Structure formats: C-alpha cells, structure tokens
A and B are shown apart, each in its own frame.
Chain A
Amino acid sequence: DQQVKQNSPSLSVQEGRISILNCDYTNSMFDYFLWYKKYPAEGPTFLISISSIKDKNEDGRFTVFLNKSAKHLSLHIVPSQPGDSAVYFCAARVTGSQGNLIFGKGTKLSVKP
C-alpha cells in the first residue's frame, strides 16, 4: 500500500503558465515533506521542503502548500519554463525515522514553449 501517492503520471503545461503537481499521503506520522526534481539517467535534485507545522513554503518560482486535514500537498511552479520539464517526486519523512524518506511514483512535467 502506497503511503505517498502521486496520482497523475504526467502533466503538460504551456510555458509561462502555472504548473501544479499534487501529492496525497495516508500516514499521519509524517513530519516533513519534500519535492525532488529528476532528469532521465540522473539523480534527483532537492527542490523545496515543508514542515508539517506549516502550510506554505515559498522559494522563488516554487511554492509548496500543505493541507494536513486533507493529507494533501501541492507544488506550484510559476511561471513554468521549458527547463522545468522533468519528473517530480514527492517524498515524506516519518517522524523519528532519522531521515528515511518515502517517495511517490513521480509526475512527469512537460513544459511546452
């Protein structure tokens, strides 16, 4: 059973528009959520994170929103750029697990010029 779910395998967005990537989770014991970006045949790159005690974190074009009651988080990219085209993974850490992360299956974002 998946504890972290990314239900959309792919997303296509026009350059300059907003990209919204979604992630749902089932474990109430997650205390930290992270987003990673991955290009083919490369390791994931950390993008942004959010603590479970917050509902929003912003870093440049990237904003992560956390809705604990709905067990849902989303990553907003504004404005989207062609270089943002990659697979985005949502990850979560179980409280007290010393850093072990549980990853979703990823969403492939395509930003079209």
Chain B
Amino acid sequence: DGGITQSPKYLFRKEGQNVTLSCEQNLNHDAMYWYRQDPGQGLRLIYYSQIVNDFQKGDIAEGYSVSREKKESFPLTVTSAQKNPTAFYLCASSRAGTSYNEQFFGPGTRLTVL
C-alpha cells in the first residue's frame, strides 16, 4: 500500500525551539517537496529535491532546512529563525523529469508554536 506518511499530525513547540517534521514515501519517487499552507492561502513551496543528496530552495526557504540522505525520506527542520512557523505543512513526491508532474501529497502536519 504505497503512499506518503507525515508524522506527527499535530505538533506543538515552544518559541525558539527547532523542530523536525518527518516525511516518508514508498512510491519510489525521485522528487520530493515541502509546502506550507496558511489559512486562505494556496500552497507555497519551501524546499524541493529531485534526487538524493541534492535539494533546492523554494519560494519561502528562509528559516527552514532539509536533508535528503535517502530516496524515501525528506525531513524538514523549522528553525528558530522562521518568524512565523505556525502553519500546516505538506510533503509531496513525484516522479522526476518532464513527463510526470503529478505530485502526491501526504496528510500534512499542523505545527503550532506557542
């Protein structure tokens, strides 16, 4: 049963703490993405990775960091430098290249910074 898992579904952290959001996929996809969604807003791209050990900044990368040590995993760290970290975070994956552009999304993690 292939898919994308994100854990936990809800996460609370104190201001000033770094926090890492998990994203795992067993779809054998090369590309993975992190988006952020705020109320009434569309999805905004934070980081993406087209291949293991390589990743690129998206539109709103400041205050975030990622790693891509394994094909299946693409964790996102929300650092204390992120000014407004409370949001709904979505991870996605897709085949790489120009022919396949459908992205499959995980269930999301809602992060609340107190």
A contact set with B: CB distance below 8 Å:
4, 6, 9, 32, 34, 36, 41-46, 49, 89, 91, 93, 96, 98-106
Q: Taking CB as reference atom, which chain A residue is nearest B38? A: A105
Contact of B50 among A9, A91, A98 (CB under 8 A): A98
Contact of A105 among B40, B58, B102 (CB under 8 A): B40
Q: Are B108 and A42 in contact (CB under 8 A)?
A: yes
B contact set with A: CB distance below 8 Å:
4, 6, 9, 31, 33, 35, 40-45, 48, 50, 58, 88, 90, 92, 94, 96-98, 100-108, 110
Q: Are B102 and A46 in contact (CB under 8 A)?
A: yes
Q: Which of chain B's residues have a CB closer than 8 A to the CB of A34?
A: 101-102
Which 8 pairs of residues, A with B, have the shortest CB-CB distance?
A43-B105, A103-B42, A103-B43, A105-B42, A44-B105, A43-B107, A32-B101, A46-B102
Contact of B97 among A9, A49, A98 (CB under 8 A): A98
Distance between A91 CB and nearest chain B CB, rounded to angstroms: 8
Q: Which of chain A's residues have a CB closer than 8 A to the CB of B44?
A: 103
Contact of B106 among A32, A43, A89, A100 (CB under 8 A): A43
Query: Please, how many angstroms separate the alpha-carbon atoms of A9 and B97 in the complex?
Result: 33
Contact of B103 among A6, A9, A46 (CB under 8 A): A46
Query: Please, how many angstroms separate the alpha-carbon atoms of A45 and B96 in the complex?
Result: 19
Query: Please, how many angstroms separate the alpha-carbon atoms of A101 and B58 in the complex?
Result: 10
* 27 A-B residue pairs with CB within 8 Å: A34-B102, A41-B9, A41-B107, A41-B110, A42-B107, A43-B106, A44-B43, A44-B90, A45-B105, A46-B103, A46-B104, A49-B101, A89-B43, A91-B43, A98-B50, A98-B96, A99-B31, A99-B48, A99-B96, A99-B101, A101-B103, A102-B45, A103-B42, A103-B43, A103-B44, A105-B41, A105-B42
Query: Please, how many angstroms separate the alpha-carbon atoms of A45 and B45 in the complex?
Result: 17
Contact of B42 among A4, A32, A49 (CB under 8 A): A4
Q: Which of chain B's residues have a CB closer than 8 A to the CB of A41?
A: 9, 88, 107-108, 110
Q: Are B104 and A100 in contact (CB under 8 A)?
A: no
